[in-house]
Amino acid sequence: MSARCPECKISIIFAFFLLCSLQLTAATAQVPEWFRLTAELTSAPELNQAVDLRVNLQAIIGQIASSQIRLILPEAWKTDPEQIHSKNIKEGETFQAVFKVTPGSYLSQGSIVVEAVFQAPKGELITYIGREMPEQAADLSETVRNWPDETKRYADISFALTPEETFYPVSGDMWLSYDDRLVSQKGFRGPAFYEDPLITAHQAQTDVEMFSKLEGYLKADQELLANLKDSGIDINRKRYDQLNGLYVLAVKAYLDNSLDIAGNFVEQFDNAVKSEQASAFENLRIAAGNIKGLIYWGKGQRRLAEDAFKKIFYSNRKHPLQRYILRNLGLLMFAGGDRATAAEMFRLARGFKDGYTLLENESELLGKN
């Protein structure tokens, strides 16, 4: 490839990442925010335990007439009451509705939808638009006039409720997989680990290979990085895809009991990430360090497994994912007969987050034995 044709290089990179064109969205005038509907649970949901769900409906422009608020719940979940009618909500005021929700099933990807039905204050909204947005008043006023007399608006609450742990609000620190091959004690699950449910082995391998090619181009042309950034390609995202690909391949090999192959992918991960800042890709770093510990554990090398868990814990002792590392370290100690250290690791792990039901039950069971 000729150095005189940087555009050709960029075109090839675009082809690699399926970024052949940039989509530009024209800015359009929007009807101003005239209401605000929000909802939240007062605590993380637990199976068969009632929890308050609060809905706030605020009138920002104009008065909202009496509204009807109801919940669309997962199957087997219940709410009391089934619906709530609000009074008229004056401009600037907020109405709060409180439901008692009782979870009746586990959901790894759960959602509660709040539906509010009310009349839009068309006249007041059109007056506001004419006063505050005169240049767009004609089009926006026509839009408002064409609205139906009764409108339905929605808010969503996302959560995850599993037998092991509850997640609310949903965040990036969720590990849902457990390897029960390594723990045989009754009442205890195996060590936790992160498993990406969306990336196949083929996609992971493709991401790794594509970034390797990209790195080759970047090393050959010092100006290419700036050109790619100017063209809209997010290099950090591509680096993440590479690291995640290596991690996915390591996990799949680990689950297949191909421990040496899994260890090789973790080593590639470590070599790739060491050039990044220590705080970069932290969730993946912790997950990879955890898998390294599980690989050693699977090989019967408990001392190396302990060292791997401790190393990743001390990299950032306050990270919320460390609850899994501490629990896994506790399980390793328990498997080796060190009950006192296991109990201490469990105690420390419980301090990171409420709603880790499995850990609470295991801690209680460990104290009884």
**Average pLDDT of the chain to the nearest whole number:** 90
Q: What is the 3-state composition of the chain as percent helix, strand, coil, each rounded to the nearest 5?
A: 45, 20, 35
Angstrom CA distances, 125 to 94, 118, 141, 154, stand at 18, 15, 8, 20
Q: How far apart are the first and last CA of the chain?
A: 69
* pLDDT tens column, 248-277: 999 999 999 999 999 999 999 999 999 899
Q: Which residue reads 């539906």 in tokens?
A: 115
What number of CA atoms fall less than 13 Å from residue 257's CA on the CB side?
A: 3
Model's pTM, two decimal places? 0.81
* pLDDT tens column, 332-352: 999 999 999 999 999 999 999
The H-or-E segment that residue 153 falls in is: strand 150-161
Report which of residues 220 and 44 the model is more confident about: 44
Phi, psi dihedral angles at 171 (to 5 degrees):
-145, -175
* pLDDT tens column, 69-97: 999 999 999 999 999 999 999 999 999 99
Do 195 and 290 touch, CB atoms closer than 8 A?
A: no
For residue 223, the model assigns a pLDDT of: 65
Domain with CATH 1.25.40.10 in the chain: 173-368
Angstrom CA distances, 209 to 63, 213, 222, 239, stand at 58, 6, 21, 11
Residue 124, both tokens: 């007041």
The 10 Å Cβ neighbour count of residue 103 is 23
Segment among 16-25, 91-100, 203-212, 294-303 with least mean pLDDT: 16-25
* Band of residue 224 on the pLDDT scale cut at 50, 70, 90: low
For 35-166, which CATH superfamily applies? Immunoglobulins (2.60.40.10)
Q: Which CATH architecture has domain 173-368?
A: Alpha Horseshoe (1.25)
